[in-house]
Amino acid sequence: MPRKQSTRYAAWAVAICVGLIGSGNPANAAVSEVRMAGSSPVVTTMAAAGTAAAAEVPSLSLGATSNGSKVTVTVTCEQLKDLYAYELTLSFDPAKLAFRTASSGTSGFSVEPIVKNNEIRLAHTKVGKTAGDSGKLQLAVIEFTALQAATSRVAVESAKLVDSALRSSEMSVKPEITVRPGKAEGTPGSFRDIRGHWAEQPILNAVQQGWVSGYPDGTFQPGKEVTRAEFASMMMRAVSMGQTAGSQALAFSDAKKIPAWALASVQDAVSRGIMNGYADGTFGPSRLITRAEMAAMTVRAFGTGTPGGAGSLNFADRGQIPAWAKPYIASAVEKGVMHGRAGSLFAPNAHATRAEAVAVILSVLEQR
């Protein structure tokens, strides 16, 4: 990339990421509501008040479709003139919808979506000295997975538009949309692979509470091993009750490998001191979490600090328990939130399963 183009892009990427784009003159917009009739959206539009000139300023609209538990929301803007970059913030209900992916309908560079609590922040910019887009453009396509088969609202909270001369404007009226998915992913009672399982009731309780879900094929896969990113997402959605301790930047060398859907949870867990990285400076989001690590994170979630001693560890494999994990495992066992496996083993280096993770997190919730 030529130096001038690189500099231009870098300036806009920073401006978009940290929200330094000026507010400029607000533009009118359209307000849309979509009521789902089966899988087909029924759209009702309310035009913003104004004169005929209002038709010449940019206007936003939302559209939505659902296919089973998959919900797709599109953000479209009309009457555009020289759109070079934009930033969107949308709100949603994380108890009903889980963010999956987002893409832009124009060329250029998209900043990795920032998902925090109930908001998604999207930013996109063209690169180099080039004219912006005009007319009608699909700014974003956002995919969610429905956690509950219930009406859910998605709304544009803010929208900033920037032209090729780096002048910005902010939309003053924002659209919102209401969708009803065809079904939830893993609706309680529908899992065909947990009947008679020791964690059947805990799993159903956790799904009902909205911090874990099943798979589109109607299974929960209780024996599937859990990654560190997955455990962070489950734990923090369960214990934070939508209130985060902060969104500090992550200094891990592999921070960019943390999936967008888990980033806010990992940031929250690190801010609270519940999770940390490894000696080599990595977080390891895709590494399978061990039972020793789960014990440490579980005890830290109580917020009582580091346990004072190793306590009594009467497991046959206690010699395999890492020194750093002994106080946490002893505390987790003493509190009754973790137990051993068959054969009087704790299996500290074994990978935790989805069923074990659910049971442990529920025990934390019950005792907090």
**pLDDT at residue 228 in the model:** 96
**pLDDT at residue 38 in the model:** 36
Task: Provide the whole-model pTM.
Answer: 0.54
pLDDT tens for the 368 residues of the chain, in order = 444 444 344 444 444 443 433 333 333 333 333 333 333 333 333 333 344 444 578 999 999 998 877 899 999 999 999 999 999 999 998 878 888 888 887 888 888 888 877 889 999 999 888 999 999 999 999 998 887 777 889 999 999 999 999 999 998 878 999 988 876 665 555 688 998 999 999 998 888 787 888 887 778 999 999 999 999 999 998 887 555 555 567 999 999 999 888 888 899 999 999 999 999 999 999 999 999 999 999 999 987 667 766 567 889 999 999 999 999 999 999 999 999 998 899 999 999 999 999 999 999 998 87
**pLDDT at residue 91 in the model:** 93
**pLDDT at residue 3 in the model:** 40
Q: Please name the helix (run of DSSP H) or strand (run of DSSP E) that holds residue 165, with its range, or none.
A: none
Q: Which position has the token pair 């893993």?
A: 186
Question: Which CA distances in Å does 104 have to 75, 110, 111, 120, 177?
Answer: 9, 7, 10, 14, 19
Lookup: tokens for 308:
């004072």
β partners of residue 121? 89, 114
Lookup: tokens for 353:
């399963």
**pLDDT at residue 115 in the model:** 83
Closest to 322 (Cα-Cα) out of 338, 339, 346, 306? 346
Burial (0-12, 13-18, 19+ Cβ within 10 Å), 50: exposed
> To the nearest 10°, the Cα dihedral for 340, 327, 231, 235?
110
Alpha helices by DSSP H, listed for the chain, are 3-18, 200-209, 228-239, 260-271, 291-301, 326-335, 354-367
Provide the 3-class DSSP secondary structure of residue 147.
coil
**pLDDT at residue 9 in the model:** 40
120: left (phi over 0), alpha (psi -120 to 50) or beta: beta
Cα 233 to Cα 281: distance, rounded to the nearest angstrom: 21
CB under 8 Å to 265, separation ≥6 — which residues?
229, 232, 233, 235, 236, 237
**pLDDT at residue 105 in the model:** 78
What count of Cα atoms within 13 Å lies in the side-chain half-sphere of residue 149? 13
Q: Which position has the token pair 């940031």?
A: 267
Q: What angle separates helix 291-301 from helix 228-239, to the nearest 10 degrees?
A: 20
Alpha helices by DSSP H, listed for 210-302, are 228-239, 260-271, 291-301
CA triplet 273, 203, 73: central angle to 5 degrees?
A: 80
Provide the 3-class DSSP secondary structure of residue 300.
helix
Q: Are 198 and 192 in contact (CB under 8 A)?
A: no
